[in-house]
Amino acid sequence: EKIMTVFANKKEALKMFLGTLLCCIIFAFFTFFDMRKLSGGSSAFDNVYFYLICRIFCGVFLPVLIFAAAFGLKTLLSKKPLIEITPEALIDNTSLISLGKILWSDMEFVFVKGAFFSIILKNPEEYLKKASPIKKLLIKWNMKMGYGQVCINPVLFSKDFLEFVKCFNRYMPIPEI
């Protein structure tokens, strides 16, 4: 029995995808095109160090942007709900590092940090052992930044975040937001 189902707001997902795609194009341009050819000898790109720093920066972040664009496209095309709340569990599909079905009894603590809804698990190893090495690494990075093993960004929710919080609060108490 599903208590609440939250789908992606397709309009927000499209804006996110197009913005990320535009950034990918710009970063690819700066990474692979020699800007010194356009400058005619009178720009900051003539400074070899500035040029190399720009190229390295764009080259490093281009794969990150491509990864984000792929997730945006997946979210845009998916008919799968981002979040489902049932009496037994929270089913999280909000990101590429989501852990899926998380039992209420496995949740230790919930908090809000910035724009993220974060969950600390009682026994995270049980969930992480099923995750891919990349997913484990990204979850550990989130934890080093002060987030829980489960991190939900409500920016793409089709429903009001407070409605989600009220429904969630029935099963797992949330400290005051």
Q: Per-residue pLDDT tens for 125-167? A: 899 888 889 889 989 998 999 999 998 888 878 777 788 888 8
Instruction: Over range 57-85, report the average pLDDT.
Output: 82
Residues facing 68 on adjacent strands: none
Res 89 pLDDT > 70: yes
Confidence of residue 38 (pLDDT cuts 50, 70, 90): low
pTM over 0.75: no
Res 122 pLDDT > 90: yes
Amino acid type, 20: T
Q: Which residues contact 164 (CB under 8 A, 6 or more apart)?
A: 4, 6, 83, 85, 154, 157
Res 43 pLDDT > 60: no
Res 15 pLDDT > 90: no
Cβ atoms 54, 89 nearer than 8 A: no
Amino acid type, 70: A
Q: How many CB atoms lie within 10 A of CB 20?
A: 20
**pLDDT value of position 120:** 92
Which helix (H) or strand (E) segment holds residue 6: the answer is: strand 4-6
Instruction: Over range 67-75, report the average pLDDT.
Output: 81
Token reading at 43 = 């720009």
